[in-house]
Amino acid sequence: MNVKGLSVVSMAVAVALTVAGCVDKENMNSDALTEANADNSAKEQTMNPVEDGSRDARLRSLDNQIRSMVGIARADNIDQCRMIAVGKRACGGPEYYIAYSLQVTDESALKQLVSEYTELRIEHIQETGEMGTCEMIPEPVLDLNGGICRALPTNTM
């Protein structure tokens, strides 16, 4: 749950405790109780993905699917190796790069997962106002070592 969701829940709990402390349960109107419960149910049903965490769960799921699909990027030659930028950082650029092999990875399916993940990250950043350190991740160098495609860090001076 993010900060917005936590503050909404915290406010609801504080109001409920305040009301409960000021009202005698025996004298409380049952219609008021029913109305209050209906209001709470309506609020719970209209929570957006940021508040209920479903987008975060979907992002985690997509990230796991991407990494699982790539697996161990085994290849016979460097021509089978590819690299893809995944996600979006708040200040721009991808979250990370991942090397994959055409020999073991369905490139079209991988690109579809990466696209969905990146779109959700952009949506998340825009809706939450997420900020970052604004460090740019340099694009790695693609390498084949021991029959495995790897994304190696770029040497910086």
3-state secondary structure (DSSP) of residue 1: coil
Nearest to 94 by CA among 135, 66, 62: 135
CA 129 from chain centre, in angstroms, equals 14
Structure token digits, residue 106: 């369905």
Backbone angles phi, psi at 150, to 5 degrees: -135, 150
DSSP symbol at 117:
H
State the pLDDT at residue 98.
98
Percentage of the chain surpassing pLDDT 70?
A: 66
State the pLDDT at residue 132.
87
Backbone angles phi, psi at 76, to 5 degrees: -90, -30
pLDDT tens per residue across span 67-118: 999 999 999 999 999 999 999 999 999 999 999 999 999 999 999 999 999 9
CA 53 from chain centre, in angstroms, equals 9
Q: How confident is the model at residue 20 (pLDDT cuts 50, 70, 90)?
A: very low
| 28, 30, 31, 37: CA torsion to nearest 10 | 100
Mean pLDDT value across the chain: 76
Q: Indicate the domain borders of the chain.
A: 3-47, 54-152
State the pLDDT at residue 44.
39
Percentage of the chain surpassing pLDDT 90?
A: 57
State the pLDDT at residue 96.
95
State the pLDDT at residue 156.
53
Give the whole-angstrom CA distance, residue 5 versus residue 42. Answer: 15
State the pLDDT at residue 135.
84
For the chain, give the number of residues: 157
DSSP symbol at 85:
E
Is the model's pLDDT at 128 over the cut of 50? yes
Is the model's pLDDT at 57 over the cut of 80? yes
State the pLDDT at residue 90.
93
Which is higher by pLDDT, 36 or 91? 91
The per-type count for the chain, helices as H runs and strands as E runs, is 5, 4
How many C-beta atoms surround the C-beta of residue 5 within 10 A? 15
